Structure 1
Amino acid sequence: MLDILEEAAVAAGKAILDIYHAGPEVSYKPDCSPVTDADENAEKIILDRLTSAFPEIPIVAEEAVSAGHVPDISGQRFFLVDPLDGTKEFVGRNHDFTVNIALIEKGEPVAGVVYAPALGILYAATRSKAKKSVISGQRDIGPETVIGCRSRGDRLVALASRSHNSLETIAYLAEHGITDYEAVGSSLKFCLLAEGLADIYPRLSRTMEWDTAAGDAVLRAAGGETVTMDGNPLTYGKRNQIFDIDFANPHFVSRGKN
């Protein structure tokens, strides 16, 4: 399965880069978040490939959900897709945007692919292994390198959202005595933790499940964790929430090894 997820992400990434270089057409959703023709084209590529290979597994995809198309996920096994995570980075000509595809089983991300097409880097994971590969020629997946979280030292390095940072996040870092942090876009923050390049990523602003699932799968396979502010693992497939919309995440903290 992971090979097919990787191939779908790379194919979508190629389409995204074509539009990136030509100049995207930008419109705005009702929540004022941007959407481009790259989001829509990439999602169609991914949905076509996943539906063809795994017709029995429902797919929750960002743009489809935005259009009101939500599948039945009561079987507890489904895909989460964000065809272009970091649309603001994409529109702003920053390279920190990704293609995210994750498989969820019983609320847990058990496989995931995060592809950063402008960087030519692909992260992928199953339960037992997280890896990183370099993509050449926008399509060829190079040799893989197994990655893992680093053990924490005395001085923690944090990651924060470039486009969606918050005063609450800054306060969290100050409360925990963390002064060294870097702003990074999209789901790359999870992957940098998984690669052992940072220690903690607190997110005290809005995210949706498709924003986090693939990166979270890579992080967990690399030995890290993502927990809500009450210390429980972040779960996926959240419907009919009392205090929020479907598939919205609560605030969380992702981190490497203790």
Structure 2
Amino acid sequence: MAGERFVQSASASGDIEDLARLFANMAIAAGALAMETLANANIESRLKGDTSPVTEADERIEAYLLRELEAALPGVPFLAEESVARGKTLDAADAFLLIDPIDGTREFLARSSDFTINVALAEKNAPRVGAVYAPAQGRIWFAGAQGYEAQAVPGGSLPPMQDWRPLRARQRPPEGLVALISKSHLDEATKTFLSRQRIARSAPVGSSIKFCLLANGEADVYPRFGPTMEWDTAAGDAVLRAAGGVTLDPDGAPLRYGKKADDYRNGPFIAWADAAALEAAATLP
């Protein structure tokens, strides 16, 4: 189909920057839907089968993104959080889209600014393109072969290229690491991991923003031992990898995508800003 041919052509030619800009503009436009819901006096939510919350914003944003993606990339298979919750499955595919309409729904319900809209493309078990938008912060991170950060108003679009900031993860600082930990999922395994590192400071941050802060040089490591789904990590992981970082699984290999046998669930992982520093640090406890 046309969309599949476009994805294959973009990947083969190395020109995946068009896809990155496409995803970024879609996420920014969808940000207006998130802010509309956030402006309500009460944000209604319900629990899904896995006990995670879902709001009207999750469903409206996913429906919008799926319409836009189908129009732009017809026929490309997708994995989207709320569609999966309703029973949609994805057959194994060499390339597929991943959509997380609101990553950090608990933060969204708490009216924290730490929630994001995520759109990604995985190909050959790796995240190839990603866009992460934090509408309450007006920050967009996006990456194909290279990664960028920019300011963007919810419902608007990407600013001119001269206003994009190239992303580059930083080297391991001699004074110790800045570690990012989950606001909602801090566990004993994370505490054990941090106790084995030289940590200068730990900061709780919600959603896939953690990957992006590693990518733009604000932090050094993000350990995650509780379960996540591939749509939770793909866009942020794509941004981090484009900036020179890496996300490692329990075997010390880059986190893989397309894990159909595991229902697209991730195991433990650690995201690092400075891949070259891994020789000096343990990976997983």
Give the TM interval when normalised to the shorter protein: over 0.9
Query: CA offset at residue 72 of structure 1?
Result: 2.7
Query: CA offset at residue 137 of structure 1?
Result: 5.8
The residue number in structure 1 matching 2:29 is 11
Query: CA offset at residue 14 of structure 1?
Result: 0.8
Determine whether 1:67 maps to 2:73. no
Contact 1:11 1:45 in 2 (8 A): no
Q: TM-score, normalised by structure 1?
A: 0.95
The residue number in structure 2 matching 1:92 is 110
Q: Which runs of 5+ in 1 are unaligned?
A: none
Determine whether 1:227 maps to 2:227. no
Contact 2:135 2:153 in 1 (8 A): no
- After the TM superposition, list the runs of 4 or more consecutive aligned residues in structure 1 that deviate by more than 3 angstroms: none
Determine whether 1:46 maps to 2:77. no
Could you list the per-position Cα deviations for residues 137-184 of structure 1 after superposition, in whole angstroms to 9, with x for gaps in the alignment? 641322211111001122111100011111110110002232521000
Distance 1:165 1:7 in 2: 32
The residue number in structure 2 matching 1:37 is 56
The residue number in structure 2 matching 1:165 is 186
The residue number in structure 2 matching 1:144 is 164
| Greater fraction of residues in helix | 2
For the residue of structure 2 that corresponds to 1:210, the secondary structure is helix
Give the partner amino acid of 1:83: P
Q: Which moved more, 1:153-162 or 1:83-92?
A: 153-162
Identity value in percent: 44
Determine whether 1:214 maps to 2:235. yes
Distance 1:252 1:140 in 2: 33
Determine whether 1:130 maps to 2:147. yes
Contact 1:160 1:202 in 2 (8 A): yes
The residue number in structure 2 matching 1:28 is 47
The residue number in structure 1 matching 2:138 is 120
Distance 1:16 1:136 in 2: 12
Counterpart mapping for 1:198-213 below 5 A = 198-213=219-234
The residue number in structure 2 matching 1:106 is 124
Contact 2:91 2:260 in 1 (8 A): no
Distance 1:156 1:83 in 2: 31
Distance 2:153 2:104 in 1: 22
Q: Which moved more, 1:185-194 or 1:139-148?
A: 139-148
Q: Which runs of 5+ in 2 are unaligned?
A: 1-18, 277-285
Count of matched residue pairs = 252
Distance 2:193 2:154 in 1: 41
Give the partner amino acid of 2:157: D
Distance 1:139 1:110 in 2: 24
Counterpart mapping for 1:168-207 below 5 A = 168-207=189-228
RMSD: 1.2
Could you list the per-position Cα deviations for residues 212-247 of structure 1 after superposition, in whole angstroms to 9, with x for gaps in the alignment? 000000000000000012201100110123xxxx01
Distance 2:92 2:138 in 1: 32
Distance 1:59 1:8 in 2: 15
Q: TM-score, normalised by structure 2?
A: 0.86
Query: CA offset at residue 32 of structure 1?
Result: 1.1
Contact 2:29 2:154 in 1 (8 A): no
Contact 2:79 2:90 in 1 (8 A): yes
Distance 1:140 1:225 in 2: 28
